Structure 1
Amino acid sequence: MKASWLASAVLMAATATGATAATTSFDSVGEFSGTQGQGGWSYGYYSRAGDASSFTTMAVFGPGFEYGSNQSGPTWWEGAPQNPWTALFSEGGHPSLQSGDHWAVRRWVSGAPGTLSISGDYQGMLFGTAAVHVLIDGVERFAAVANPNLMTFGLADLAVSQGSTIDFAISAYDGSQHGDVIRFTATGELLPTAVPEPASAALLLAGGLAGAAVRRRRTR
């Protein structure tokens, strides 16, 4: 009878399922703010072109600027507004070549391990003056040169860890920062890795203990 009960416990443990945490989403435009770290977002720049380890947060959040017939609205700046021109606003940003090849970068940090999908769009003022990049933990996963046509992009099945950095970067492309204002937006969904429910974890433990008991009886 005891052996039958132990076998049942093992079977229950083997068939226990995990609980999937709720999907986490982000929106670079809707969640833009003047607070570093809010919603997992940081606003900064690469002080070395393409080098995610050189990411530095911007220090100034202030007035924006005009580009074409548009207004950027409140904007993060590398230094004083427009000096240098490295900047990020809700829908995009501007790189700078004034003090080195500085990429404007908004960074989202994953709060959990899981599978990430990203979609977004980008658009430049002129043809071939600036480029957009997506880097995950410093590895480039997408890059494109912007032009006046609104373009879309998508990435799927991206494995991330808790604390992974997802960088949306803007760089100068033609050796000049003239006309380098870029629209670059992104939304994403993170499906966290399944974790055991408390009841399932207890069943797994019980199953392990039951299995050990069966093995002990067989060796007597």
Structure 2
Amino acid sequence: MRFSCCAVFLAALTPACSLANVLLADSVAEFSNVQGQDSWLYGYYSGPFTPDNFQQMPEYDAARERWQVDGTHPFPFFWTMLDRQGGHPNGLTTSGEIQPAEHWAVRRYVSEAAGPVTIAGVVGDIDPRIGGQGLIARIFVDGLEVYTRNLANAESQVPYQVEAAVAVGSFIDFVVDPKNSNDWADRFQFTAVVTTVPEPASAALLAAVLAPVASRRRRSYASGS
């Protein structure tokens, strides 16, 4: 979790306030080969497909720089994986030497702060091969679905932004569902940046703190000093 210099300085002036626009999480910058590092977990849902059924992916493939469920060839093998930018779910209708199973790929952030947050990023189906049925991208906050996007095959670079309220320890799940349990051509991108949102009282206090400073600077400029 990183804080802006301005936020840290002003927080020192007003320690009881949360002074907004603090960067809590970045799925791309904080991607790692360690489960739980920077409060990120890499996993999947395996029916029933709910946040209560989240399981961590057991393998990290260093050569491909990705988390996966099982990369053993020829059997068993699953497409289910997550990398820095996105990943791939697994469906019952599949291709290659794959075990039939449905997995929804899930990147989970465990909140390090409490209050309103903005969750923003880009989502898309980035595999243009013929035969893909697209996929469904979802965001759950503590089990509540706050975002859903039904993506067509090869529909990429779709920006999103949602607001939510979290507590310390809240789960934010970034989920990709193999539409109709068909994982053909379902490579996806799903990035996320989580930032705090200013409380009205904090914003008012921030304005009150900065107003005298701005006034003194204007007088200084006017006098030519």
TM-score, normalisation: structure 2: 0.68
**Counterparts in 2 of 1:154 and 1:106: CA distance versus 1, 3 Å:** same
User: How large is the Cα RMSD of the aligned pairs?
Assistant: 2.7
**1:19 corresponding residue in structure 2:** 17
Structure 2 residue aligned with 1:173, among 176, 179, 183?
Answer: 179
Which blocks of at least 5 consecutive residues in structure 1 are unaligned?
Answer: 1-15, 65-72, 195-220
- 1:89 maps to which residue? 83
For 1:49 and 1:182, the matched residues in 2 are separated by: 22
1:68 maps to what in 2? none
Query: Residues 151, 79 of structure 1: CA spacing in aligned structure 2 closer, same or farther, 3 A cutoff?
Result: same
The answer to whether the 8 Å contact 1:49/1:101 transfers is no
Shift of 1:192: 8.3
The one-letter code matched in structure 2 to 1:151 is V
Consecutive unaligned residues of structure 2, counting only runs of 5 or more, are 1-13, 92-98, 201-225
For residues 162 and 30 of structure 1, the distance between their equivalents in structure 2, rounded to whole angstroms, comes to 21
TM-score (normalizing by structure 1):
0.70
Q: Which whole-Å CA distance do the structure 2 matches of 1:81 and 1:193 have between them?
A: 49
The answer to whether the aligner puts 1:153 opposite 2:160 as a matched pair is yes
Cα deviation digits, residues 182-208 of structure 1 (max 9, x gap):
0111111034889xxxxxxxxxxxxxx
Percent identity over the alignment is 32
Q: Which moved more, 1:79-88 or 1:53-62?
A: 79-88
How many residues in Structure 1 have an aligned counterpart in Structure 2? 172
3-state DSSP of counterpart to 1:50: coil
Point out the structure with the larger strand share. 1
The ranges of structure 1 where at least 4 consecutive aligned residues each deviate by more than 6 angstroms after the TM superposition are none
Compare CA radii of gyration and give the structure with the larger one: 1
Query: Which residue of 67, 70, 85 maps to 1:79?
Result: 70
Q: d(CA) in 2 for partners of 1:189 and 1:146?
A: 25
Matches within 5 A, 1:5-154: 18-20=16-18, 23-63=22-62, 73-80=64-71, 83-97=77-91, 98-124=99-125, 125-126=127-128, 128-147=133-152, 148-149=154-155, 150-154=157-161
